[in-house]
């Protein structure tokens, strides 16, 4: 994992606003952060990736998930283009559902250092069994409204 500093990268180092190569692996992906202009206010940010894909590390077959990432920012905001590129870098990455979900949560938390972060990985069934993976870090600040992640439980054909 790349080292992070307390300084914002210069705008010419951000991926936002310029053409960049798609990262081939999660380790090659750059996560950008920008200063939070409302750092004196506690609020929730939600990113949803309903078409997340990775590969089964055993069979090489594709796995699909609906990811929901909620966080309460501190000094930094997660820049959305870099998140899109990071998430896409898993398309050819072989890892179990649990590893992918927790890896994403830890990487984001390490880069932006939020007050609180939660990731829900709602994985579509493989072998007839859906797997849901949840990870969080930090303490939820008092007074923050956290909406339900609103991903319906898997019901099959029911």
* Residues identified as active-site: 56, 63
Q: Which residues share a beta bridge with 131?
A: 123
CB-based contact 1:68 (threshold 8 Å): no
Q: Is 126 exposed, middle or buried (0-12, 13-18, 19+ CB in 10 A)?
A: middle
C-alpha distances in angstroms, 137 versus 39, 96, 108? 19, 21, 11
Return the axis-axis angle of helices 97-112 and 80-88, rounded to nearest 10°: 150
Task: Measure the CA–CA gap between 10 and 26, rounded to whole angstroms.
Answer: 22
| CA pair distance 158, 150, nearest whole angstrom | 18
């Amino acid at each position: 994992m790349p080292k992070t500093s307390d300084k914002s990268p210069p705008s010419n180092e951000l991926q936002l606003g310029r053409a960049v190569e798609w990262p081939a692996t999660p380790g090659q992906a750059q996560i950008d952060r920008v200063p939070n202009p409302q750092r004196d206010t506690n609020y929730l940010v939600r990113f949803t990736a309903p078409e997340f894909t990775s590969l089964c590390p055993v069979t090489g077959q594709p796995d699909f998930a609906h990811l929901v990432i909620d966080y309460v920012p501190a000094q930094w905001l997660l820049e959305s283009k870099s998140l899109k590129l990071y998430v896409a870098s898993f398309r050819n990455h072989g890892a179990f559902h649990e590893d992918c979900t927790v890896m994403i949560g830890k990487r984001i938390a390490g880069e932006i250092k939020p007050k609180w972060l939660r990731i829900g990985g709602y994985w579509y069934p493989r072998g007839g069994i859906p797997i849901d993976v949840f990870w969080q870090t930090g303490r939820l600040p008092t007074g923050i409204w956290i909406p339900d992640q609103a991903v319906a439980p898997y019901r099959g054909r029911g």
